[in-house]
């Protein structure tokens, strides 16, 4: 029981008992315990991916968002994602120089051309 809620003469007996509970804290913080990692954190492995894989995943994610925008006929979203796709492709240009543009990139460009012809015409 807190010493603030006690009445009269009981305060002396409880204050001596609660004095044990309120041990003084060491100055400078609670740094006496070492930092231990849990077993879950120790077992996680980092996945190392090549730069080519990272760029392909970025392009594929943008293509998925463009296809979704095409399905719901959101032309402004297609334009925004197409601009992001162009930037991502320019960023991946160094990685893709050897093999050329990936097939899925060329396919989305053709699909976008057909989509725009259908929407505008």
What was the pLDDT predicted at 8?
A: 59
Give the per-residue pLDDT at 45: 85
Query: How far is the C-alpha of 21 from the C-alpha of 33, rounded, in Å?
Result: 20
Q: Is 56 helix (H, G, I), strand (E, B) or coil?
A: helix
Kindly state whether residue 77 falls inside one of the protein's structural domains. Answer: yes
Q: What is the pLDDT of residue 4?
A: 72
Q: Is residue 40 assigned to a domain? A: no
Query: Is residue 78 a contact partner of residue 69, using CB atoms and an 8 Å limit?
Result: yes
Residue 29, token pair as written in the block:
């913080």
Q: Which pLDDT value is given to residue 98?
A: 85
pLDDT at position 99 is 86
| pLDDT mean values, one per 10 residues, the chain (121 residues) | 64 52 60 61 79 93 97 95 97 90 95 94 84
Residue with tokens 């943008």: 62
Residue 104 lies in a domain: yes
- The whole-number pLDDT of residue 121 equals 84
In a domain, 36, yes or no: no
Q: Is residue 114 part of a domain?
A: yes
Residues 58 and 86: their CA atoms lie apart, in Å, by: 11
Query: 81 lies in which domain range?
Result: 53-120
pLDDT at position 35, please?
63
Residue 18 in any domain: the answer is no
Domain count, the chain: 1
23 belongs to a structural domain:
no
Residue 26 has what pLDDT?
A: 58
Is residue 41 assigned to a domain?
A: no
Tokens of 68: 């979704």
The predicted structure's pLDDT at residue 30: 60
d(CA 62, CA 104) in angstroms, rounded, equals 11
């Amino acid at each position: 029981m807190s010493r603030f809620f006690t009445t009269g003469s009981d305060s002396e007996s409880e204050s001596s008992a609660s004095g044990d509970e309120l041990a003084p804290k060491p100055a400078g913080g609670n740094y006496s315990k070492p930092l231990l990692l849990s077993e879950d954190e120790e077992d996680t492995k980092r996945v190392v991916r090549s730069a080519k894989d990272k760029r392909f995943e970025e392009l594929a994610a943008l293509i998925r968002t463009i296809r979704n925008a095409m399905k719901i006929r959101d032309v402004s979203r297609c334009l925004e994602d197409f601009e992001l796709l162009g930037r991502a492709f320019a960023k991946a240009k160094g990685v893709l120089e050897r093999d050329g543009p990936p097939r899925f990139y060329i396919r989305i460009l053709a699909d976008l051309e057909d989509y725009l012809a259908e929407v505008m015409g």
